[in-house]
Amino acid sequence: MGLDLDYLARTFLLSLRGLPVTLGICASTLLVSLPLGFALAIIGIYRVRVLRKLASVYISFARGTPVVLQILVVYSVLPSLANSLAIRAGWDVDVFALNPLWYAVVVFSFNTTAVLSEIIRSAILTVDRGQYEAALSSGMTGRQAYRRIILPQALLVALPNLANATINLIKGTSLAFLMAVRDVTAIAKIEAARGYEYVESYLAVFMIYLLVCGATQALFTLVERRLGIYRAPVVAF
């Protein structure tokens, strides 16, 4: 056969134009999911009565079903739901003209919030209770203790898992084409179908994902090194 390198390069550049969409979805999703995940983690840790039950059912469902199904479910129900809401509220907006990007953010937030809440919860639980007590006896309020002592330490513990979750999120957005979002994968897919050069097209996106994930990983490693200055050096054995 032989690869059509020209075509590959062209698709690569073309698909790169979808990168802002891919990264935009990821960033918006994280922006939504981090606070929500944190709230759920706190609910879990402090065993808030009814909310805790609801949260654990939600987390189990969101983590126990394929993302592709979550996409298909949301995409088959959300537009018309939003439309009927808009009509009832008397808004003059055409919901169906809305950028599908927002549906993508809803789905991925639904999924990522559950993942992040588990990561944050277990990270907070790794911080020794004595840290909290020492903060209280220094005259801090519970909130101050969390902000200044507990969370910075928990964040560091959580970073490797957060890196994983972010990479999984980036990979997950490759399914956004199911919602007619024109991200990296969607563009390559269109190109592939048009020119019948499937292998080249998918090789192109494959390379883009490698670059993006590599950069993400590097970023997290950098942050971890930055924030981790207080840790004892790891003794090699």
Q: Which of 87, 222, 45, 200 is nearest to 191 (CA)?
A: 200
Smallest gap, in angstroms, from Cβ of residue 189 to another protein? 8
- Residue 53 as a binder of another protein (CB under 8 A): the answer is no
Interface map 95-134 toward another protein (x if CB under 8 A): ---------------------------------x-xx-xx
- Residue 225 as a binder of another protein (CB under 8 A): the answer is no
Question: Given candidates 46, 138, 221, 222, which one binds another protein under the rule CB under 8 A?
Answer: 138
| The two three-digit tokens of residue 170, written as one number | 């980036």
- Residue 46 as a binder of another protein (CB under 8 A): the answer is no
CB within 8 Å of 45: residues ≥ 6 apart: 121, 124, 125
- Residue 156 as a binder of another protein (CB under 8 A): the answer is yes
- Residue 135 as a binder of another protein (CB under 8 A): the answer is yes
| The two three-digit tokens of residue 188, written as one number | 């390559």
| The two three-digit tokens of residue 177, written as one number | 């084409």
- Residue 148 as a binder of another protein (CB under 8 A): the answer is yes
Question: Given candidates 9, 210, 218, 219, which one binds another protein under the rule CB under 8 A?
Answer: 210
CB within 8 Å of 60: residues ≥ 6 apart: none
Q: Is the Cβ–Cβ distance between 164 and 81 less than 8 Å?
A: no
For residues 20 and 152, which CB has a smaller minimum distance to another protein in the complex? 152
- Residue 66 as a binder of another protein (CB under 8 A): the answer is yes
- Residue 43 as a binder of another protein (CB under 8 A): the answer is no
Smallest gap, in angstroms, from Cβ of residue 172 to another protein? 7
| The two three-digit tokens of residue 60, written as one number | 């189990």
Residues that bind another protein (CB under 8 A): 1-2, 60-61, 63-70, 72-73, 76-77, 80, 128, 130-131, 133-141, 144, 148-149, 152-153, 156, 167, 171-172, 174-175, 185, 189, 192, 198-199, 202-203, 205-206, 209-210, 212-214, 229-232
